[in-house]
A = this chain, B = another copy of it.
Amino acid sequence: MLDDSSPDLASGLRHTLTRLYLTLRRNAPLGDISAAQGSALALLHDHGPMRMGEFADRESIRMPTATALIDGLCREGLVSREPDPTDRRAVLISITPQGVDAVDDIRSRRDDAVTRALADLSEAHRSAIAEALPALRDMQSRLENYDRK
């Protein structure tokens, strides 16, 4: 019988989550774009336009790093920069339609890999995962909140 609150559950879960993510990443690689670019595009895709400084904060990188990263993405047409009309020191960075396509593409390739793996599972295993998904979401939001403790 499994003891829910044991460190074994936490350690087993940590290990499995880590391997699942890394395997998924390996299964559907980013291809042309780097990990830093992929993360930047996903943020701009999900959050919408933002200032350079907010982008740097959310990506946990420094401003000069953000400048260089965004410059590269602009050169490739995946991101665009506009002066902020309310503050002439600032710039607003946005994902382009081409950038949206790049994010959607990688996500759908990863979804396909997960769909295939789920289809190969037993019905019992598949439904166990379906029933745990809300609990995993709950755990994720709690972990996220510890960040700003």
Contacts and interface: CB of A to CB of B under 8 A. Distances in A.
Contacts of A23: 140, 143-144, 147
**A interface residue count range (under 10 / 10 to 19 / 20 to 34 / 35 or more):** 35 or more
Mostly, the A contact residues are helix
A90 interface: no
A69 interface: no
A131 B127 CA distance: 10
A5 to B, nearest CB: 6
Contact of A20 (B7, B127, B136): B136
A147 B20 CA distance: 12
Interface in A102-127: 107, 110-127
A117 B146 CA distance: 9
A133 B16 CA distance: 8
A33 interface: no
Contacts of A63: none
Contact of A140 (B16, B107, B138, B142): B16
Contact of A7 (B12, B16, B111, B113): B111
Interface in A86-103: none
Which 6 pairs show the lowest CB-CB distances between chains A and B? A132-B132, A125-B135, A21-B21, A10-B115, A10-B114, A128-B135
